[in-house]
Amino acid sequence: MTSAIVGYARTSTLDQMAGLEAQLRHLEASGCHRIFKEQLSSVDTKRPELERALDYVREGDTFVVTKLDRLARSISDLVKIKDRLLAKGVTLKVLDPSLDTSTPTGKLMLSMLGSIAEFERDIMLERQREGIAKAKAEGKYKGRAPTARRKAADVRTLRAEGKTVEAIVRELGVSRSSVFRALREEKAAAS
């Protein structure tokens, strides 16, 4: 059985198409025969394509990502993934910076860079919390933008007026699923 080079690409949001396309180009250029991709935040508890990729790889394969932050959300997450790959006899390769866990130096660098990345993220989140606290204290913090859920009453009113789902979507600027959710919740509350 021949070994495979398997890639994994991830962006945090659907808006990051250019970032996903760049990752796919790099993975293809590095010889990946199969690439798993998804567009969701690494803080999401489930990353189905990552799970599929980790289940797919076999002994002797190489698992490739463009950057560490595309793979893991923390050093403990990185260690779990690395250990899972190691148990299957799979090498982890990171393209930027160039790391290969088939070498002792690559293993060391992976651990060090993972720790640094987690530290940087923690510092960034701490600064963000401090900035929000300061803005709140100065009365400048507005909070999250209104969500579709806050427009549920408008959805129900427009539907009662006989408007179609498509018309409600256009008028309120919400998704079809938000309209259906608001209508379902109304129906459930009435029962």
Domain 5-118 part of CATH 3.40.50.1100: no
Q: Mean pLDDT for each 10-residue chunk of the chain (191 residues)? A: 89 78 94 92 76 95 91 81 92 87 80 76 84 86 68 86 88 84 80 69
12 is an active site residue: yes
146 cis-preceded (ω within 30 degrees of 0): no
Q: What is the pLDDT of residue 122?
A: 80
CB 30 within 8 A of CB 4: no
- Alpha carbon distance 81, 16 (integer Å): 24
pLDDT digit string (tens) for 93-102?
A: 999 888 787 7
CA distance 57 to 42: 21
pLDDT in tens, 122-154: 888 888 888 888 888 888 887 765 566 778 888
Distances (CA, A) of 122 to 72, 143, 154: 14, 21, 40
Catalytic residue among 3, 12, 42, 74: 12
